[in-house]
Amino acid sequence: MARKDEVAETVTAELGSPLKFSQAVHAAAPIAVAGSYAELAATYAFEEKIGNSVVHHEPVGVVGAITPWNYPLHQIVAKVAPALAAGCTIVLKPAEDTPLTAQLFAEAVHEAGVPAGVFNLVTGLGPVAGQALAEHPGVDLVSFTGSTAVGRRIGATAGAAVKRVALELGGKSANVILPSADLAKAVNVGVANVMSNSGQTCSAWTRMLVHADRYDEAVQLAAEAAAKYGDRIGPVVNAKQQERVRGYIEKGVAEGARVVAGGPEAPREQGYFVSPTVFADVGEDMTIAQEEIFGPVLSILRYEDEEDALRIANGTVYGLAGAVWAGDEAEAVAFARRMDTGQVDINGGRFNPLAPFGGYKQSGVGRELGPHGLSEYLQTKSLQF
């Protein structure tokens, strides 16, 4: 993408992420995803023969896409690229905190020669523009990424109109470190995962589960890892988000969790910074272990045996992502297969832009990325011969 430097600078200006992270993730990931859909559009089986029938996979029609601010361009591309590859037209309502990134994308789409009316950008507030888009009778499918609370309203609106819906919602993902794992690696990668993008990632592994015998060592390692970040992780997106995250940290303290790194005090006077925070002695029913904080806050929970770890890992309303670490890959896979979650990284497995992304339970409906993401924007018609 010719404008990737401009995209990175714009994301940094709007979201506050450090420029290197904006270049490496916020600009680079959407380019990879867009390229994957360009290839899929040319190779996808839009027609298949089943017995005496030919099944056609046709575009669903007009897509209303409502995207969040935390990965502003990636979330846009993850909806627009498959919708266009499927043959749909699309109306995008980006987050009000990051409209300029969406504007840059719209300009790039125009410069690429996409015909007028195929891609459309509408900016505005979620309860106004987003709600109008979800309700509009001309919209055939609503694709929304954001909080579970708003997702419920979008789903109810779409359901009342009997229109298709795709929802990618919240998470409280578990990072399960089994006793046989390389503890230092698992803890350090786990802390980095939570601090990335200042914790503003729906799939972040915000609950670290460690066996009782190795718990104190893990807490020490996590505290040391978090302390190295300082304010290098960048601010959160706005004052409201800063207050929200600091409020959760204060609630963790009030409910009896122990702060081993960071805390509610802002690390600097200017900017919406939150200290990279690690909690120990977290009970599985505490607010910080159940609710999505969306900031650089890690809770470390203790478990007694594998069944206890599984019960804790599955013990939230969410099921978006997770991680399992073990000395033996087969052991990690066996545990991961029992987790109620849509995506699990095994011993630090890398992000795959072709793998389906989405959640179980209240983490959403449907999948994004790769062929599974493309199929969300298709409907089927069978012809019998």
Count CB neighbours of 249 within 10 A: 24
At a CB cut-off of 8 Å and minimum separation 6, what does 235 contact?
A: 16, 198, 242, 271, 272, 273, 274
Spatial distance between the Cα atoms of 5 and 382, rounded to a whole number of angstroms: 46
DSSP string, 321-353: -EEEE-SSHHHHHHHHTTS-SS--EESSPPP-T
Phi then psi dihedrals of residue 359, to 5 deg: -120, 165
Give 369-380 as a 3 state SS string.
CHHHHHHCCEEE
Q: Which of 14, 88, 202, 284 is catalytic?
A: 202
Count CB neighbours of 52 within 10 A: 8
Spatial distance between the Cα atoms of 101 and 85, rounded to a whole number of angstroms: 22
Cα dihedral 327, 333, 334, 340 in deg (nearest 10): 130
Q: Which of 14, 48, 88, 168 is catalytic?
A: 168
Name the burial class of residue 346, with classes exposed (0-12), middle (13-18) and buried (19+) by CB atoms within 10 angstroms of its CB.
middle
- The question of whether 217 is a catalytic residue gets the answer no
- The question of whether 284 is a catalytic residue gets the answer no
Spatial distance between the Cα atoms of 213 and 324, rounded to a whole number of angstroms: 17
- Angle, vertex CA 62, rays to CA 59 and CA 68, nearest 5: 110
Spatial distance between the Cα atoms of 159 and 145, rounded to a whole number of angstroms: 17
CA 223 to chain centre: 25
- Angle, vertex CA 202, rays to CA 184 and CA 259, nearest 5: 50
Spatial distance between the Cα atoms of 163 and 58, rounded to a whole number of angstroms: 16
Residues annotated catalytic, as ranges: 168, 202
